[in-house]
Structure 1
Amino acid sequence: MKPSTPAELRACADGSCTIVVTKGTEIPRADGLRAGPFTVSAVGAEGVDLSSVDASGFTSNLLGQRPDQGGPSTVNELSIAVLAIVGDTAKLRLFPAE
């Protein structure tokens, strides 16, 4: 899997995208869904780790996110699903929470 380009990552600002990430990838804030920005802090066999610090300093950590975990994780109104992990890359889908 080829990591997403900066333009593809910027498209996530509306809270709806599918991207490929590696460690260090910055996912922009989805203002309308009150979530992010996120930094990918790890990608590997154990899963995908994401962290976010909002404007008030509140930190959110999603650790060990995997395709087989039973569903997406949700931060405020944004859901994040890991679709696949291949080596040090992962495919994520971001979408509005239901």
Structure 2
Amino acid sequence: MPGGPTRRMALVSAVTVAGLLTGCGSVPEETAAPAGAPTTSSTSPAPSSPPATPSPTATPFPKAKNGTKLRACRDAKCEVLVSDGRTITLDARWGLAPVAVSVEDDSVTFHVVTASGMQATMSEQTPDQGGPSTINDVSFEVLAVKGKKAVIKITH
């Protein structure tokens, strides 16, 4: 047969290519949806999107043990929520006049006057500064700051 092996080779090649195309996800004509109709395929799952990356969650603002009761600080032992412009009065035995508190720019500043008249400012205190600031054996520590409010801890 003249041209027999070549003709058979071409036919085998055509069948192989058709089989490869079908295996690569092409939809057979009899299952294709009409133009404009939504298409679904029972042979291949819908492409899945990668799982959503959770957005970083902000650490919740802690509750102060003594709430907003600044009088709890008279004995130099309290944890309170203060806002900008508040004043904390300590008992006279601590030798400090009322402490003015400024809260801004994610930090707290304490303005203090000692019984001897010395003025001290503990500026821009933050929760991550490595510990409290101390004057007359009274320590002032910032636990959290948000906007114009802060949770502070006073100890002796």
Tell me the TM-score range normalised by the shorter chain. 0.7 to 0.9
- Structure 1 residue 33 displacement after superposition: 3.1
Counterpart amino acid of 1:84? A
Q: Is the 8 A contact 1:24 1:39 kept in 2?
A: yes
- Structure 1 residue 57 displacement after superposition: 2.5
What TM-score do you get using the length of structure 2 for normalisation? 0.53
Pair 1:90–1:24, CA change in 2 (3 A): same
- Structure 1 residue 48 displacement after superposition: 0.5
Write out the 4+ residue segments of structure 1 that deviate beyond 4 Å after TM superposition.
Answer: none
Q: Which residue in the other structure is 2:84 paired with? A: 23
Q: Compute the RMSD of aligned alpha carbons.
A: 2.0
Q: Tell which has more relative contact order, 1 or 2 (C-alpha 8 A, sep 6+).
A: 1
Unaligned runs of 5+ in 1: none
Deviations 1:17-62 (A, max 9, x none): 011111210100243333342001x212341111012343221101
- How far apart are the structure 1 equivalents of 2:91 and 2:124? 22
- Structure 1 residue 11 displacement after superposition: 1.7
In the alignment of these two chains, the number of paired residues is 92
After TM superposition, the structure 1 = structure 2 runs for residues 51-70 of structure 1, keeping only pairs within 5 Å, are: 51-70=111-130
What TM-score do you get using the length of structure 1 for normalisation? 0.81
Task: Decide which of 4, 12, 32 is 2:93's aligned counterpart.
Answer: 32
Identity of aligned residues (%): 37
After TM superposition, the structure 1 = structure 2 runs for residues 1-98 of structure 1, keeping only pairs within 5 Å, are: 4=68, 8-40=69-101, 42-96=102-156
Q: Considering fraction of residues, name the structure with more helix.
A: 2
Larger radius of gyration: 2
Q: Describe the SS at the equivalent of 2:74.
A: helix
Q: Considering fraction of residues, name the structure with more strand.
A: 1
